[in-house]
Structure 1
Amino acid sequence: MRGQRLVAALMTALLAGCGPAVATSDPVPAAVRPAPERPYAVGILQFTVDPDGPRPLPVTVWYPVDLPPSPGPAADAPTGSAPTPSPPGRAGPGRPAVAPSPATQTGPTVWAGAPVAAGRFPVVVYSHGLRSLPALHAPLTSRWAAAGLVVVAPTYPRTNRRARTFSRDDVRNQPADAWRLVRHLVRLSTRAGDPLGAHLAMDRLAAAGHSAGGHTTLGMFASAPPVPLRAGIVIAGGRSVVGPVRPLAPVLFVHGAADRIVPQSIGRAAYARCLGPAAFLSLLRQGHGEYLTPGRPGFAQVIATTTDFLRWTLYGDRAALRRLPADSAAPDTTRFTTRAFPT
């Protein structure tokens, strides 16, 4: 009994000393700028970090645009058949990045090379899985951008679909790649008048990813960051690829209950290790990511839950926090649980 009391006291001291992630009723500080009240249109651009280095990192960026958010062509499609975005300058401001298609009418309008909307926006680093590409995740990333976020998605050198030399083991190097991208964005954000950097709120940073990209996201929490991560979203992942990880920042896990590639038990174990607020959205009877495809069961709940989670953690939007249980609710499709969440 005495030993149990000692352990409890040590854990209390540890958690209290780790900061506001568990010591307050809401671990998320209020943002200076309120969350957007309306959706944006979305812009898309591409650039490469360290193009002449040993690990060049092509990056796709989705960002808010001050254009009328009317229905129209969108850069999203079912996973496995997503369109490749047009390079900036090819389409130019005022031209859509993707040709109209009946199957993509429900997503936000995406414009190549359009100016970023006025103001600075929170940033989300999104990591793809093995043999994937950022463009294949546009149904998710473009909708986050429409909600007022800048989503930056690196194409990792040796795990992407077009890699000349594919290596599953190279995932261990991806958290460092992601932080290299963040450092590049920090430099951009200090350049007065930079077309992208002038709109980046690098003090409001989150990381997200699917499958091996989810492992990469957790690995980012194990690194010494140039700026702190405010939140993480781990989709169909759970293994940290760099050291032990027990995040204090809020983390949302999204996982198919019938996932045979990364069993849900792996995501559950990572969820249990979180020291700060954590939530788990389980997609019943679903596998490794079909719920990320528009029109499939659970897609609407994943979009609503992840978007409001980011609005809460990056904008301090308490109304978004209160919406999470309703966002995730779908009879016979989802199950949502939380740990140490504020009320």
Structure 2
Amino acid sequence: MSASNTANASATTTVISAKPVILPAPGRGEDLQVRVSAPATGGDLPVLVFSHGFGWSMNGYAPLADYWAANGFVVVQPTHLDSRSIGMPHEDPRFPRIWRIRVEDLVRVLDGLDTVESSVPGLAGRVDRSRIAVAGHSWGAQTASTLLGARVVDADGVPGEDMTDPRVTAGVLLALTGLGDSLTPFAIEHLPFMRPSFDGMNAPALIVAGDHDQSQLSTRGPDWFTDPYTYSPGPKSLLTLYGAEHSLGGIPGYEVAETTDESPARVALLQRLSTAFLRSALSPEDTSWKAAAAALDEDADPLGKVQSK
């Protein structure tokens, strides 16, 4: 367990983190490990479950996890089986199902909130389980979107199982890949689950895309990452970050090798706007998102733009 002061708008808020919190996972091959972060004080804290990108773990994405926790969320970060810390080979018989196991990981977190809440000393009784959101980056965004109503299209073009979870009422989807009609041959062969349907993604969500995010998995350009906004029913908002590539300025962590577009200012904007969106989506009377979007629109030299429907 560790405590830290987050250097941002909530710099005076102490964040407490506990890891690893173990959630039993029969049939998974090994139990699920998660990290739990929360402010040291305060009550009625909403829950935010975050799904990491390929290869990462519960230890990544500190710029987001610490910020959200400092701003009043209980942030739960599971380590999926594709994590480099686990080292599961592509030949593992679980790999063809790994996209589904990822979704099951998030559901297991929701089912295990008693354990999650009791894992951090002093957190019990301070969590508002009526307000639950999901978030994710890249593959993690696809994982999170499934609980919001997105579905994987099968080989015959038919949307597969609906895995919407009614406990989840909002989401933040960062660099979520688009439709599967423009996949590269490599993606078609090795990542057949990257064929989403957004027709049933009805829950409020903030889609975040970088206008310089050129994926090697699609023959299209950066507009591919706006598909979740374009093709899902409202209410949705799209935050386009100018100059951002797939790491959106460095959200996996500061000075990490995967970040090719490091920009603390861009990350700070994403921190502020995602937090404002979550507050308003989980508490309809909250006007944080409206104010934050208006402030960006009025900025003389903005780092991005917001569209809503």
State if a TM-score over 0.5 links the two structures.
yes
| Shift in Å, 1:271 | 0.8
**Residues 264 and 179 (structure 1), Cα distance of their counterparts in 2 relative to 1, 3 Å cut:** farther
1:17-166 aligned within 5 A: 40-46=13-19, 47-50=21-24, 54-65=29-40, 117-157=41-81, 159-166=82-89
| Shift in Å, 1:310 | 0.9
Structure 1 Cα separation of the partners of residues 24 and 178 of structure 2? 28
Letter in 1 for 2:87: R
**Residues 290 and 218 (structure 1), Cα distance of their counterparts in 2 relative to 1, 3 Å cut:** closer
Letter in 2 for 1:236: A
SS state at 1:131 partner: coil
Structure 1: runs of 5+ lacking an equivalent: 1-36, 66-116
Letter in 2 for 1:177: D
| Shift in Å, 1:140 | 0.6
Structure 1 Cα separation of the partners of residues 196 and 245 of structure 2? 27
Structure 2 Cα separation of the partners of residues 249 and 177 of structure 1? 20
Letter in 2 for 1:325: A
1:205-284 aligned within 5 A: 205-222=132-149, 223-224=162-163, 227-239=166-178, 244-245=197-198, 246-261=200-215, 264-284=222-242
Structure 1 Cα separation of the partners of residues 112 and 106 of structure 2? 10
Structure 2 Cα separation of the partners of residues 154 and 188 of structure 1? 11
SS state at 1:134 partner: coil
Structure 2 Cα separation of the partners of residues 203 and 264 of structure 1? 36
Letter in 1 for 2:140: G
Structure 2: runs of 5+ lacking an equivalent: 1-9, 150-161, 180-192, 255-262
Correspondence for 2:304: 334
8 Å CA contact 2:145, 2:173 repeated in 1? yes
Correspondence for 2:101: 173
183, 187, 200: which is aligned to 2:127? 200
**TM-score normalized by the length of structure 2:** 0.71
SS state at 2:201 partner: coil
Instruction: Answer yes or no: is 1:184 the counterpart of 2:112.
Output: yes
Q: Deviations over 1:188-232 (max 9, x none)?
A: 66x8x9854532212101000001001111112245456421111
Structure 1 Cα separation of the partners of residues 141 and 30 of structure 2? 20
Correspondence for 2:187: none
8 Å CA contact 2:178, 2:196 repeated in 1? no
Q: Deviations over 1:115-139 (max 9, x none)?
A: xx24231000000000112322011
| Shift in Å, 1:237 | 1.0
Letter in 2 for 1:220: L
Structure 2 Cα separation of the partners of residues 321 and 265 of structure 1? 24
Structure 2 Cα separation of the partners of residues 174 and 162 of structure 1? 15
Letter in 2 for 1:211: S
Query: What percent of counterpart residues are identical?
Result: 24
Structure 1 Cα separation of the partners of residues 124 and 166 of structure 2? 15
8 Å CA contact 2:205, 2:235 repeated in 1? yes
**TM-score normalized by the length of structure 1:** 0.64
- Give RMSD over aligned pairs: 2.9
Instruction: Answer yes or no: is 1:287 the counterpart of 2:245.
Output: yes
Q: Deviations over 1:36-62 (max 9, x none)?
A: x99732110120111675242110111
Letter in 1 for 2:125: A
Moved segments of 4+, more than 6 Å: none
Q: Number of residues paired by the alignment?
A: 249
Q: Deviations over 1:215-271 (max 9, x none)?
A: 111112245456421111110113595963432221101111111237533331111
Letter in 1 for 2:36: V
SS state at 1:61 partner: strand
Structure 1 Cα separation of the partners of residues 114 and 45 of structure 2? 13
Structure 2 Cα separation of the partners of residues 181 and 141 of structure 1? 16
